[in-house]
Chains A and B, each alone.
Chain A
């Protein structure tokens, strides 16, 4: 079975470490915040200028001056800091964020990522995504392995305009966890009940399959 969105978030959350500063993108990455293990502490960075994003406010706490990068009202947790956009992107571009999780339309075997623009469709903008992928060493890209029509999103070469060049090394899809090494995807784990054959069939880019590919385990 392909992973659910929640299981994908759960799997990504296993990569969190105690003391990590983490930027989570919109969509599945946002759900990762729900699966932070109880015994570790992470600080969420929101690129509009908040380090230490807290929960949504209660009705009484609601404040138009407190929003996250998705423009949703939020709170600041204990230990948070608030600063300007330049300071925020100094953190991001300076490589100070420990882990970035973001979605994508396509990733290729060179680590290129396309996530912001489909020619012919309305283009809304890249927001902070280009800064995040250029600035971070440690990025996990979350996406479905193939489109609804079965077309692979793990390609030899991205077809859509890029968000960043040669910057992605880890990809979690609904079928597999893969790493990108020396111009190839390396299959590291597969979703429970998903065969290696299915992953091979749905990966258009060069794929290296080790002798043993463990299944992910979920509670």
Chain B
């Protein structure tokens, strides 16, 4: 009865089927809650010409930043990309296409994509460069722009705990874009810190129901901190 058993035993198996030119949706905010081992597996495979949807693009040497080293990303949709010298160089040399996307619009593109809604109107970005060339329609006396949603060939997600059914919970602000990304992949791969026994996760506490999830793998994580702030205690 492997029907609902989503577990895979290796990262190679977890990313099986990823090909050049595919679209990948990634969870994470900054370096928080990023699927760091799945990214490393894409790096290992050398898959090229990827279109990536992610709020940020990692830092030099970590997170999605490592996919820049061998120029594996050709286009990225992100809201903020400024923490990465290699990224800046590739952007200035036009080696990577950057589609800066408002953070809420990016989240909604994933959410709507996963929910089967092909496009949505939003006031965000109207009258700005983001709205250039997009359809405008007035609702309640206010102009809105039409934004298209996204479905990825792969979604790569970092959870905290999952069961073999693919039910996932996230921890603290490592949740961020992960639940939306999880809904928006044709193949959704979730790596977690711990795979627990079925029944251990309370059904009403599940953030991502297993129906969205194709593959689950347990990994170990560096969890690098981008801006370490502490107070005297």
Contact = CB atoms under 8 A, between A and B. Distances in A.
Contact of B102 (A65, A124, A131): A131
A96 interface: no
B134 to A, nearest CB: 13
Interface in A106-163: 112, 117, 122-131, 134-135, 161-163
Contacts of B102: 126, 128-131
Contact of A165 (B108, B127, B224): B127
Contact of B108 (A62, A82, A89, A129): A89
A130 B175 contact: no
A125 B81 contact: yes
A130 B124 contact: yes
A92 interface: yes
Contacts of A55: 231
A56 B230 CA distance: 5
A86 B179 contact: yes
A88 B29 CA distance: 13
B111 A59 contact: no
Contact of B172 (A65, A131, A163, A164): A65
Contact of B29 (A85, A134, A165, A166): A85
Contacts of A48: 29-30, 32, 173, 176
A62 B225 CA distance: 10
A57 B228 CA distance: 9
Given A86-B108, A93-B104, A73 B180 contact: no
B176 A112 contact: no
Nearest to A127: B80
Interface string A76-101: 10000011111011001100000000
A218 B127 CA distance: 38
B33 interface: yes
Given A73-B228, A130-B125, A64 B104 contact: no
Interface centre among B100, B104, B125, B207 (most CB of A within 10 A): B104
A164 B144 CA distance: 12
A126 B82 CA distance: 11
A66 B227 contact: no
A50 interface: yes
A58 interface: yes
Interface in B139-196: 160, 171-180
A64 B107 CA distance: 22
Contacts of B127: 112, 162, 164-166
A212 interface: no
B18 interface: no
Contacts of A163: 128
A130 B32 contact: no
Interface string B16-34: 0000000000000111110
B78 interface: yes
The residue in B33, B100, B105, B229 that gathers the most chain A C-beta atoms within 10 A of its C-beta is B229
Contacts of B129: 117, 161-162
Interface in B178-233: 178-180, 207, 223-233
Interface of B: 29-33, 55, 78-82, 88, 91-92, 100, 102-108, 110-111, 122-130, 160, 171-180, 207, 223-233
16 contacts: A49-B173, A56-B229, A57-B230, A58-B230, A59-B230, A64-B31, A66-B172, A73-B227, A85-B104, A85-B176, A85-B180, A89-B107, A93-B122, A117-B129, A126-B100, A162-B129
Given A72-B229, A73-B225, A92-B104, 6 more contacts: A50-B173, A63-B172, A64-B31, A64-B223, A64-B224, A128-B102
Interface of A: 46-50, 55-68, 70-74, 76, 82-86, 88-89, 92-93, 112, 117, 122-131, 134-135, 161-166
